[in-house]
Amino acid sequence: MDSAFIPGLKLSEMFFQEVVKEIIEAEYPGLKYTAALIGPGSEVIGLDDAVSADHHWGLRLFIFLGLKDYEMHSDSLKKLFRKKLPYEFKGHSTHWSEPDPNDSGTQLPSLTEDGEINHRIEIHTVNNYLKEHLNLENLELTDFDWLLLPEQKLLEFTSGRIFFDTLGDLRTARQYLTYLPDNVWKYKILSEWEHITQEMAFAGRTGGIGDELGSKIESSRLVRYIMRLALLLNKKYIPYPKWFGTTFKKLPIAQKLEPILLAILREEDWKERDNILCKAYMMMVEEQNKLQITPELTVRPKPYHTRNMTVIDTQKVVDALKKAIKPPLDTLPPIGSVDQLLDVGGGLSSKLAQKTRNLFEN
Describe the crossing of helices 270-291 and 314-324 by its angle, rounded to 10 degrees. 30
CA distance 312 to 204: 13
* Residues 147 and 214 reside in one and the same domain: no
Q: How confident is residue 352, by pLDDT bands cut at 50, 70 and 90? A: low
Q: Is the pLDDT of residue 262 over 60?
A: yes
* pLDDT number for residue 105: 82
Same domain flag for 236 and 210: yes
109 and 221 in one domain? no
- Say yes or no: 141 and 191 in one domain: no
Instruction: Please write the tens of the pLDDT for every residue from 165-186.
Output: 999 999 999 999 999 999 999 9
Tally Cβ neighbours within 10 Å of residue 182: 12
134 and 119 share one domain: yes
79 and 135 in one domain? yes
Total domains in the chain come to 2
According to the model, what pLDDT value does residue 345 have?
A: 47
pLDDT band at 359 (very low <50, low <70, confident <90, very high): low
Flag whether 97 is in a domain.
yes
Mean predicted confidence (pLDDT) in 284-304:
94
User: Based on the domain organization, do 114 and 160 belong to the same domain?
Assistant: yes
Clarify whether residues 148 and 279 are in a common domain: no
pLDDT at 104: 79
When pLDDT is cut at 50, 70 and 90, the band that residue 306 belongs to is confident
* CB of 9 closer than 8 Å to CB of 160: yes
Whole-number Å distance between alpha carbons of 340 and 245? 17
Same structural domain for residues 106 and 235?
no
The per-residue pLDDT for 55 is 79
Domain of residue 193: give its range.
Answer: 182-331
Average pLDDT, the chain: 91
pLDDT in the model for residue 64: 98
Domain C-terminal end among 176, 193, 210: 176
Q: Say if residue 167 is in the same domain as residue 197.
A: no
Task: Look up residue 268 and give its amino acid.
Answer: E
Please say which residue of 176, 198, 229 terminates a domain. 176
pLDDT at 347 over 50: no
Question: Within a domain: residue 340?
Answer: no
pLDDT score of 349 more than 60: no
Side-chain-side CA neighbours of 309 within 13 Å: the count stands at: 20
* Cα–Cα distance, 200 to 55 (Å, whole number): 40
